[in-house]
Amino acid sequence: MLDHFPAADLIQVNLCADLNVKLETAYGSSFRFWRSRARLFEGYPTNLSEPPHRDCHVKSESEVVAMSIESAAFERVLSRHGRDPHALVQILRETQALMGWLPRSLLSAMARELKLTLAHVEGVAGFYRFFHTRPMGRLRVLFSDNITDRMLGSEALMADLCARLGIKPGQVSADGRVSVDQTSCTGLCDQGPALLVNHHHVITRLDAPRVAQLAELIRAEVPVPQWPADWFAIDHNIRRADVLLGMPLAPGAAIAAALARGAQAMLDDMKRSNLRGRGGAGFAAGLKWELCRNATGSIPGTAPGSTHYVVCNADEGEPGTFKDRVLLARHADEVFEGMTVAALVIGARQGLLYLRGEYRYLLEHLQAVLQRRRDQNLLGSAILGRAGFDFDIAIHVGAGAYVCGEESALIESLEGKRGTPRIRPPFPVEQGYLGQPTIVNNVETFCAASHIAAQGGAWWAGIGTHQSTGTKIHSVSGDCERPGLYEYPFGTRIDQILEDCGARDTQAVQVGGPSGVCLSAFEFDRRIAFEDVPSAGAFMVFDCTRDMFEVARNFAHFFAHESCGFCTPCRVGTALVVKRLDKLANATGGGRGSRHDLDVLFELDLLLHGTTHCGLGASACNPLRDTIIKFRPAYERRLESLHFEPGFDLDAELSIARRMTGRDDPAAHLEISP
């Protein structure tokens, strides 16, 4: 700090004044708020006050007041979770719901109560996008920023809303009323553009009139529940139903069938079904269950294998995927039933459902289903009267982190930590949640397991192809007449799906989301199956009017944003890819690409593919590589030169010095190309 330099001269003071302006521009009202609180920084000159920043945070009056008002509620949150440090993410989420943000003083108190270090608590609070360690608007609006939202005009709508509210994206309005920003895909691509309010409510099918009305409601501070109800309507859009979407099971039927068979026979049936995980990797579910069932766990200080856990991965973060949202809303019984069958097989007493923060609005519904199932004796102790078969399910709500869809990162998050993927082995089936053997399966996998329990593994194995049994739900969005869910047996051709959803003049399909594969028209005769084109469920359609370069650039921004930051190749590499693509893009760099940039992009792809800590970084360049190979002209038309081209206007770099010196001689200019 400058006051430690008694001889601080005029230059430095002037620079501080300049800094003040810069900070005010960057932080807006929250900075003005903090500057007005500057007297709380004893001994600091006024112009050195800082925006809310972790290194230099002093309790403000309003914070103190808020703390005393909310301390009773805070205490209720802590006791509800038994002051368990493993519940930190849930405690942060519920505490933030009380105040809108998480002041450092509160994090401090939390650390004390949970017997954690402040560094740990701040580290976790800083990791998840939905946690705020600086004041946010009382109303927080997040536009979904998937490419499908953009194709439906989300960028212009957000700009419109910001203009109406007089704020910039990422800023808090001067009165602290509202902040508007973007977030990764919210899983509503079939009814976008969508936005998320206060990390809780979603608004679908945005258009100009809705945005205009929304701005009015925000300005009038109308409470969210009083907004037009049809804004919050979420359609299931089931276009083609097969086993999972079309043959609902009576609650308890699958559990009864599994109990009648016995745990070992049920496991054998699972293996016979050859069901492969639906989250993307396609690991054999039966084998996973068997490994977990036989695992003893080996964390020092715990009884080996004393506890097994069943975890359902409902962190459906892959852009363009929304099948789990519908399964949870419409088929929660089958999902929970599948988890209960898994518990029977592996001997678990506790199940956890990791619900992505963006699906918070499903929580009450899911809690109600769980309660009904407890009442029906389908959860709890002695399920369906079988003594010793005790199992219950708790719901953990995430806070906006794509990487938590990776199973070991998901477990870290369940344990109240940052969602950093673990080094494997040991795999979760040996050492998962709290070091105990754990199976983590996708929502759709558990749903399928309940059908297998009810109808048998051989029946399931009879559907689909040899290596990819059963059916698969596809979340179809983008350029087609009928976006929504399409369930097909494995082995269905791409062009079949395109025809069914009413896609015309299709130039590309992104199967499995950004980390999947981009297919061009000459490949539309390929089939969805692990033998050919594997898919985690996303199916984004792009017609001939779309610019595939912009598609790849949107995905690159997504990965750079969602990188957990743990390993350098991914943290830095994804940012370098973004920088290079932005250089090529017309929008930001004025289109300054050269062939050299394409070489660099290929090198970055190789680097990320071979060196990152987990699959996020390894697959971050998939859309880039696919589009450079299959849609190369989309890149080539952006090349300004075959040689090197700087990413900025060199002559403009001398503009300030020219102005200050009044010079305009030849030496005061740098011609664009030598």
Binding site for other proteins (CB under 8 A): 9-11, 14-15, 18, 596, 643-644, 646-648, 650, 652-663, 665, 667-668, 670, 674
H runs (alpha helix) in 479-631: 494-501, 548-562, 568-584, 586-589, 595-611, 615-619, 622-630
- Pairing label, strands 471-478, 484-489: antiparallel
User: CA of 322: how far to CAs of 169, 339, 450, 475, in Å?
Assistant: 26, 20, 20, 6
Residue 224 or 668 with smaller CB distance to other proteins: 668
Structure-block tokens of residue 537: 């469920």
Residue 112 or 663 with smaller CB distance to other proteins: 663
∠ CA 598-561-556 to the nearest 5 degrees?
25
Distance CA 181, CA 162 (A): 9
Q: Which of 412, 415, 434, 413 is nearest to 423 (CA)?
A: 412
Residue 23 or 552 with smaller CB distance to other proteins: 23
Question: At closest approach, how far in Å is the CB of 9 from other proteins?
Answer: 7
User: Is 182 in contact with 143 (CB distance < 8 Å)?
Assistant: yes
Question: At closest approach, how far in Å is the CB of 654 from other proteins?
Answer: 5
Residue 170 or 644 with smaller CB distance to other proteins: 644
Question: At closest approach, how far in Å is the CB of 667 from other proteins?
Answer: 5
Residue 232 or 602 with smaller CB distance to other proteins: 602
Distance CA 506, CA 527 (A): 17
Residue 62 or 644 with smaller CB distance to other proteins: 644
Distance CA 657, CA 192 (A): 48
| DSSP code string of 108-172 | HHHHHHHT--HHHHHHHHHHSTT--SS---SEEEEEE--HHHHHTTHHHHHHHHHHHHT--TTPB
Residue 13 or 303 with smaller CB distance to other proteins: 13
Residue 156 or 650 with smaller CB distance to other proteins: 650
Q: Determine phi and psi for 673, rounding to 5 degrees.
A: -120, 140
Question: At closest approach, how far in Å is the CB of 639 from other proteins?
Answer: 14
For residue 147, what are the contacts with CB-CB under 8 A and spacing of at least 6?
Answer: 319, 320, 478, 540, 550, 551, 554, 555
Residue 481 or 665 with smaller CB distance to other proteins: 665
Structure-block tokens of residue 144: 């979904």
Distance CA 488, CA 473 (A): 7
Question: At closest approach, how far in Å is the CB of 400 from other proteins?
Answer: 30
- Pairing label, strands 471-478, 438-442: unpaired
Question: At closest approach, how far in Å is the CB of 638 from other proteins?
Answer: 18
For residue 27, what are the contacts with CB-CB under 8 A and spacing of at least 6?
Answer: 34, 51
Side-chain-side CA neighbours of 149 within 13 Å: the count stands at: 31
Residue 200 or 595 with smaller CB distance to other proteins: 595
Residue 54 or 663 with smaller CB distance to other proteins: 663
Q: Which of 178, 160, 162, 180 is nearest to 170 (CA)?
A: 180
Question: At closest approach, how far in Å is the CB of 521 from other proteins?
Answer: 35
Distance CA 218, CA 326 (A): 29
Structure-block tokens of residue 497: 């799906």
Residue type, 458: A
Distance CA 519, CA 511 (A): 7
Q: Which of 588, 555, 342 is nearest to 441 (CA)?
A: 342
Q: Own/partner pairs for 635-639, CB < 8 Å, 24+ apart? A: 635/549, 635/584, 635/593, 635/598, 638/549, 638/584, 638/585, 638/586, 638/591, 638/593, 639/584, 639/593, 639/594, 639/595, 639/597, 639/598
Question: At closest approach, how far in Å is the CB of 656 from other proteins?
Answer: 4
End-to-end CA distance of the chain: 44
Residue 306 or 568 with smaller CB distance to other proteins: 568
Question: At closest approach, how far in Å is the CB of 655 from other proteins?
Answer: 7
Question: At closest approach, how far in Å is the CB of 673 from other proteins?
Answer: 9
Question: At closest approach, how far in Å is the CB of 26 from other proteins?
Answer: 12
Residue 16 or 67 with smaller CB distance to other proteins: 16
Question: At closest approach, how far in Å is the CB of 585 from other proteins?
Answer: 17
Question: At closest approach, how far in Å is the CB of 665 from other proteins?
Answer: 5
Question: At closest approach, how far in Å is the CB of 143 from other proteins?
Answer: 31
User: CA of 309: how far to CAs of 145, 256, 286, 618, in Å?
Assistant: 34, 21, 15, 28
Question: At closest approach, how far in Å is the CB of 634 from other proteins?
Answer: 23
Distance CA 109, CA 336 (A): 36
Question: At closest approach, how far in Å is the CB of 32 from other proteins?
Answer: 21
Structure-block tokens of residue 171: 């800023």
User: CA of 630: how far to CAs of 349, 623, 624, in Å?
Assistant: 50, 10, 10
Q: Own/partner pairs for 225-230, CB < 8 Å, 24+ apart? A: 227/203
Residue 330 or 579 with smaller CB distance to other proteins: 579
Residue 77 or 577 with smaller CB distance to other proteins: 577
Residue 20 or 237 with smaller CB distance to other proteins: 20
| Number of other CB atoms surrounding residue 33 within 10 Å | 18
